Structure 1
């Protein structure tokens, strides 16, 4: 593989992301193991980075959901879920690109508060995008250490 990586980020049906989400987030389980409650909500927005062959190499889901740690916040809440990048492409801008697409979606939708339960190895990715940690790290027994993060997004 050359050092140049070509991909396009676009909004996609959530089912397009299940194989990658299952591989990265569900320890290689079957695609249906990547389904999470709310995937079929009409306001959920899913973005994917597709390589030159059309394969999904990165993805993110954006769910309308208030942050449980900031219950009195008047801004609309959006939760990031199902964010994944092919392991061999990490550190090459794919995750940053799909995250930027999600944040742009929130901007165009009137802004709000975006939050996630980030795996601790992904913490720096979110920090580079302006997210801050809320609370203490915890261990999910099935998928490892996490930290909750958030940031505000102004409207377009």
Structure 2
């Protein structure tokens, strides 16, 4: 059983670094914009209160869809702890992010998804836009989006 709640972005750095930055130090998970007051960060906590999943939602228009109506929101720093993947944790934190957008009038939600996560996002209604590319530091990616 998990609980999803909004948390300060700094609380997610340890999990983000472990999952997304090859186990680097927590500060390696910091990204530009983390300190924006509109950033919303959600975490999934297990029964013991340990963080097992997280997602950050940043106010940022999608560069490939600049004329899309509504505000743009970028998903960043989405991570699920080892042993928790495939158990609905990612879906729960993603839904919290989508609900956040919906309560603020909707808009366009997008991300630069690792290609290994593209099917997860497709199941949540995201569509690929553009061509895949390789980020030399963290691997192959594809941009995805959906309206809320």
Q: What TM-score does the superposition give when structure 2 sets the normalisation length? A: 0.98
Residue 11 of structure 2 is aligned to residue 16 of structure 1: yes
Unaligned runs of 5+ in 2: none
Residue 49 of structure 2 is aligned to residue 54 of structure 1: yes
> How far apart, CA to CA, are the structure 1 residues paired with 2:117 and 2:138?
13
| SS across alignment from 2:109 | strand
> How far apart, CA to CA, are the structure 1 residues paired with 2:62 and 2:70?
10
| Runs of 4+, deviation exceeding 3 Å | none
> How far apart, CA to CA, are the structure 1 residues paired with 2:112 and 2:6?
22
Deviations for 1:14-34, whole angstroms, at most 9, x for unmatched residues? 011000000001100011110
- Corresponding residue of 1:44: 39
Q: What TM-score does the superposition give when structure 1 sets the normalisation length? A: 0.93
How far 1:74 moved relative to its partner? 2.6
Unaligned runs of 5+ in 1: 1-5
Q: CA RMSD in A?
A: 0.6
> How far apart, CA to CA, are the structure 1 residues paired with 2:40 and 2:33?
11
| SS across alignment from 2:130 | strand
- Corresponding residue of 2:70: 75
| SS across alignment from 2:83 | helix
